[in-house]
Structure 1
């Protein structure tokens, strides 16, 4: 039997397998000394011994998390999000965004370099490298690599992805997840539900779309694209655009997990980067 005889004021420690464990773990919440007693019996005699276990506070640098590299277009605003960063000790953190490098001729500035979430305006095409330093007041954490933004010229070859009737292109890659509940309506049950509508535009070069996939991970229904088909190779000619929809049959009141994805390239089939990808996921329910 393991017992805690003494502990720091205000502490609520716990011993795992307190009554039966030959090897146990002590979980503490406050630095200091803990006096632990072990009592052992074979049914005839009882022996005990004590040991003092000391825990000391060690400050650890914050862990910095930012988003992955993105493609943008000149004149877009790029968000910078450091909200995934955390401090292992639970300390209050401060933030400092800064450019590691900018394209020649750029006068870009970070809107609020001390904010957890901020942004900057892409004024010229090229590669922007942005980093984030997070401090707990004593130690500072930085990401292993900067956050890269490749900005395409308005006049150069690039791909535009538009949502619904929006005229502002999306940053790439496009990766979003939605919750859609169509059970809270008095309308008749639809034969199909359009979950999303997008337009892809080829600027300066043909865009080749491949790796098209629509999946229900729970195998309840069969989602599909309208505008092209799975495993099809689609070419959007230079200067043209193509609108497509993400469609699902009704789920009969069941919640399902849908995903729609594809990749594209300005250089032919299969020659796509990690940023030239589309992924939309849905937690979807309908009558």
Structure 2
């Protein structure tokens, strides 16, 4: 087998019958460690009576529904350079019926690259139990570098730690128990190196569930370098559905976009480079459908004092189609001896009081009435002595290129009310930028966004005893595009990216003018994409169709130029009443979407 070849069908899983199972072969590697040239999945075993089918046999990450209790064994074969087939690998999915206990699944977190001497914190927060039972944790070293005396601290908690005292590879295993059964072991790898030899770490962001033809924003802003060197980004598709022509725009930025044009699974890979070394790739799975699953957001991790009421916040959860959500919060784990309970577990903002020092892992699942979201978790750490502070780098922002940007870390906090010191780091900046931070040890440092693109910054605070976990903020510097609307006195600025109007039109009208617009590129070239129109339908089944006149996908507006276009109704049926129609388009490279809504009164 060629060097670097590895066939990896992913970790075994335990689920309940009816669950949608996500397979993941993205850890596989072709010759030389490159991404495979092809994937081939197939069932080698299914329970009696099962009609389970793979969503795609050639995707890097297909799905299937576990329709019967029992074991599903799925085989993966990859190909690399010169069509050299690797040894096959298989993954086993065990489905359990309602009422029967399912074995939990351990998740030891993501691989890390650190400097020698770094205090490494692990996380098993993504471990889960299909029945919703609370978990206990058992971590152990599987292997350490020769001569290392590293020891795990708090090995029976969700987030143990150790000091990487020698250069080399540390492999740490995790098993979880739900009170009845123990999971298989999951491993995480930590590589320690000296100074410049430490590799950067790519983070391609969370998996996403989206609608076909929506604009998807990938997010690699959590990628990092152990030495805080500036990093650059390189994205590419590992696989996409058959027939898709989707491409990644801004593939060398922290937050590129693409438009899924076919239903199915899109797998994107990210590597980052610090100018000396390249990271290992990380992947993200984007599932596009005509009824995308909702997305749960359990909020940010918190550090608190034991005995103090904690308020959780799931308001960041969303549904791609805008449907109303219901909420279901549960404890995944809590410290030994805790008797606390959630208050308002079916609300957006439940609460609980941590009665014992330790870590509380809480899970949120949201439902839009048609499908449940994947679970999201939040970790609340309660302390009886000093609590670690919490950094808050402020909200992500969009600014005009050349703007002076002032950051704001004043939302950072310490549960013990200790005074804080601040340390800001510029993690990445657009190619060609020479931006530097002024006042990096203050609450409100600043820099000039001198080039179009993404600026990723991290904030850590210290309470005099311990550093916080870093918090990230992304500043997007956009070329300036102005939108104007026509009036009797000429074109007037819309002052935003949307416009809503009410208009009266006569029955039987043809090619009815709604509005006239002008867009002007003030500082860079723009390309129009994702032009869409949403019609209305009368009670009699007649269609009221809006359209753009003079604007279509692919139109380019050069810096300094302008484009005039109009919105129109193709025809007006004989159906008096109130109707609503919508139009929109997106521009790249900013990814900004302009929306136009018309409340049409046919008389």
TM-score of Structure 1 vs Structure 2, range by shorter chain: 0.3 to 0.5
Per the normalisation by structure 1, the TM-score is 0.42
Bigger radius of gyration among the two: 1
More strand by share: 1
Per the normalisation by structure 2, the TM-score is 0.24
Between 1 and 2, higher relative CO (CA 8 Å, sep ≥ 6) is seen in 1
